[in-house]
Structure 1
Amino acid sequence: MTHVARQRLKLMAFFAIFALPVAVAWGMVEWRIGIPEARTAHGELQPSLPVLAQWPLTAVEKDGEGDWLLAFDCPQACAEDADRWWRLHRALGREADRVSRLRIGGGGKPLPGAALAQWTSSPEWRSPHRLWILDPDGLPVLGYEQEVAASDVLDDLRRLLRMNPEPPLAKYDQASSVVGGDADGQ
């Protein structure tokens, strides 16, 4: 093999190294080979629900402005559900401060760290004992029936928090707003 032929062979191998993955990826997409069909979320996607601000609720308060929200509907006494979601919130560990809890309805005082709101009217999409995960902007992301395992909700919530990391300086912004007062320096 001559020197020129060897150089051409090297050049063709170099092109193949970059062209082969593109061809394989195209084939996977075109013929649906090797692409997983399973879903990753345990809950139901909720794109048709309105944002939290449009829900017919009394005043809703979150712990932090950028917090995700676990909202659960308690039509009657639901101490067991409230305790279940409180334990799930604690299971988040260091990420727990990025999530707030909202109990909608039910009697009595909410558990520590949870806010309480009441339905002013019952929307057609409401389902008793339902749990929703809402993003920091109030958009419903996932919904769960009462029978869902808390571990499944925890998996989904951890995945959402991991895929939507907190901005690096967010903790310092919150601390400075508490210590320094408002923007006018008062």
Structure 2
Amino acid sequence: MDEQDAVRARRQRFKLLALIAIFAIPVITAWVMVEWRIGIPDQRTAHGELAPEVPTFDHWPIVEPRQALEAGDWILAFDCSSNCEAHADQWWRLHRALGREAPRVSRLRIGGAGPALPGESLGQWEQVPEWQSPGRVWLLDPQGHAVLTYTSEVEPRDVLDDVTHLLRMNPDKRAAPELEVGSR
């Protein structure tokens, strides 16, 4: 019986060590990754550029399109001073590609001639600001801060990636039902 008890005890110890290893190895791996920066990507994930010099949307020198924009929406604003028809169509297609998240984004075309495409608001510069350039695109958060800016040569796929990432990381608070305290 002594030999059988010793084998059973070794088997139980092995099971315990295996169980501890299952939970300890991920923690140790994460600690090594953080401490020695192994396996952590250092590159940027956004395709656009940060735009700290761009004022909040309330201070943009544009003729009043603000009433047409939905409060609480992200805004994809684009300068349409050159090749306007192609740019407007490109950003309309991007808006459609957002699928069920499309209602969370408003499009603002600044400049250009012609009627607005579906879901698009029109605006004109009162005076052209120094931070504006032809074909520039800005992505503004619901508070009106310019989150990212893009040059006229940007690929729409890159903007779509950034917009979908930001929408995923910032859930729509308007869609969440408010819980009432004390109700069942």
1:126 maps onto 2:160 in alignment: no
Q: Which residues of structure 1 form unaligned runs of 5+? A: 174-186
Distance 2:154 2:134 in 1: 14
Higher alpha-carbon deviation: 105-114 or 141-150: 105-114
Q: Check conservation: 2:80, 2:111, Cα contact below 8 A.
A: yes
Is the 1:86–1:111 contact (alpha carbons within 8 Å) kept by the matching residues of 2? yes
Secondary structure in structure 1 of the residue aligned to 2:122:
strand
Normalising by structure 2, report the TM-score: 0.77
Displacement of 1:68 in angstroms is: 0.9
Q: Please report the TM-score for the alignment, with normalisation by the length of structure 1.
A: 0.76
SS at match of 1:45: coil
Residue of structure 1 equivalent to 2:161? 155
Asked if structure 1 preserves the Cα contact closer than 8 Å seen for 2:80 and 2:109, the reply is: yes
Cα gap change, 1:90 to 1:5, in 2 (>3 Å): closer
Is the aligned partner of 1:39 residue 2:44? yes
Equivalent residue, structure 1, for 2:142: 136
Point out where structure 2 has 5 or more consecutive residues left out of the alignment.
1-5, 179-184
How far apart are 1:39 and its partner, in Å?
2.1
> What are the residue-to-residue correspondences of 1:162-177 with 2, within 5 Å?
162-167=168-173, 169=175
More displaced stretch, 141-150 vs 37-46: 37-46
AA at the equivalent of 2:30: A
Residue 77 of structure 1 contacts residue 107 of structure 1 at CA under 8 Å; is this kept in 2?
no
User: Which amino acid is 1:156 matched to?
Assistant: D
Structure 1 residue 92 corresponds to structure 2 residue 98: yes
Greater radius of gyration (CA): 2
Name the CA distance, whole Å, in 2 between partners of 1:15 and 1:104: 61
1:19 deviates by 5.0
Distance 1:4 1:112, change over 3 A: closer
Residue number in structure 1 paired with 2:60: 55
- Alignment identity in percent? 59
Count how many residue pairs are aligned between Structure 1 and Structure 2: 172
Structure-2 change in CA distance of 1:17 and 1:143 (3 Å):
same
RMSD of aligned residue pairs (Cα, Å): 2.7
**Which of 73, 86, 97 lines up with 1:67 in the alignment?**
73
Deviations 1:100-146 (A, max 9, x none): 11011122332222111111222221111011111111111111111
